[in-house]
Amino acid sequence: MLSINLSNHLAVVTGATGQLGPAIVRTMADCGAGVVVHYRQNVAMARRLLTEVRAAGVPGMIAQADVTVEQDVQRMKAEINKTLGAPDIIINNAVTQYAWANVLEQPSVDYEGQFRSCVLHNVLMAQAFVPAMLAKKWGRVIAINTECVMQNLPNQSAYVAGKRGMDGVLRVLAREVGQHQVTVNQVAPGWIISEATSSDGNDEWYIRQVPLKRRGTNQDVANLVAFLASDLAGFISGQYIAVSGGNVMPAV
């Protein structure tokens, strides 16, 4: 029987207190991984998640950082290494929120913000944590992308630009570190139902275009993250995998 066993692994989940983060944290802990609960501002939620991690019988800690700032990421790395040791799984989930507008009206600062939270975030996390994975000859880099990069809908330009840039960085990274048995993959959710975003009846237009005729949940996303973190996915790297009920279909 196949099972996902992440015992003796340590994962860092950035943006753990956001919409998708809590389900990812809980699922990783349920699979036996130790979990570092990263947060930027919501320390109360981070502490609640840490209580759940420890209740699952695995090691855990909270870590505050702005993942777009190199000094913060390096400080977080030092704190984690001192407390729990070197992580061998990083799940880059954090992203800056902003008000969407069309290209002609979107402030340039929003493009800069998306570059920092999508591209630079992934670069800084890789530079901080991947070297230890290379030495171990085992590691997982998992980043949360979006179905939006395949849709290119109005008002999404800053978000799509940041996530497309992130895609390029991660595909290159996958080629650079693969020989050391470190995999790099992206999970791309659709419009997901989470604790913070319920289905309130205003999503019928979206559901009509989804082949599975429903919205996914944050648990659907967390399940794929756990799979990619496991040895079951040891020969999968460089991939962009949509969790969208078929709403977007990457093609060859």
Structural domain tally of the chain? 1
Residue 15: per-residue pLDDT = 97
Other Cβ atoms closer than 10 A to 226: 23
With 0.75 as the threshold, say if the pTM is over it: yes
Q: What is the mean pLDDT of the chain?
A: 96
User: Does residue 90 belong to any structural domain of this protein?
Assistant: yes
What pLDDT score was predicted for residue 194?
A: 85
Helix (H, G, I), strand (E, B) or coil at 90: strand
**Assigned token pair, 18:** 């956001």
Contacts of 140 (CB under 8 A, 6+ apart): 88, 89, 90, 133, 182, 183, 185, 228, 229
What is the structure's pLDDT at 166?
98
| 94 in a structural domain | yes
User: Which residues lie closer than 8 Å to 242 by C-beta, 6 or more apart?
Assistant: 147, 150, 188, 189, 190, 248, 249, 250
Report the CATH number that the domain containing residue 147 is assigned in CATH: 3.40.50.720
Residue 252 lies in a domain: no
Residue 43 clears pLDDT 70, i.e. is over it = yes
**In the numeric block, which tokens belong to residue 15?**
């943006």
- pLDDT over 90 (residue 196): no
Give the per-residue pLDDT at 252.
Answer: 86
Beta strand ranges found along 4-64 (DSSP E) = 10-13, 34-39, 60-64
Report how far residue 228's alpha carbon sits from residue 239's, in angstroms, rounded to the nearest whole number.
Answer: 10
* CA 101 – CA 177 distance, rounded (Å): 37
Report pLDDT for 89: 99
Residues 75 and 126 sit within 8 Å (Cβ to Cβ)? no
Lookup: tokens for 38: 């990263």
Is residue 100 included in any domain, yes or no? yes
Given a cut of 70, whether residue 206 has pLDDT beyond it is: yes
Mean predicted confidence (pLDDT) in 116-121 = 98
How many Å apart are CA 110 and CA 64, to the nearest integer? 23
The amino acid present at 2, given as its one-letter code, is L
The answer to whether residue 38 is domain-embedded is yes
Assigned domain for 2 exists: no
The predicted-structure confidence for 1-23, as pLDDT tens digits, reads as follows 889 999 999 999 999 999 999 99
**pLDDT over 70 (residue 210):** yes
pLDDT exceeds cutoff 80 at 195: no
Give the domain extent around 72: 10-243
- pLDDT grade for 188, boundaries at 50, 70 and 90: very high
Would you say residue 178 lies in a domain?
yes
**Interval 210-223 mean pLDDT:** 97
Instruction: Examine residue 5 and state whether it is found in any structural domain, yes or no.
Output: no
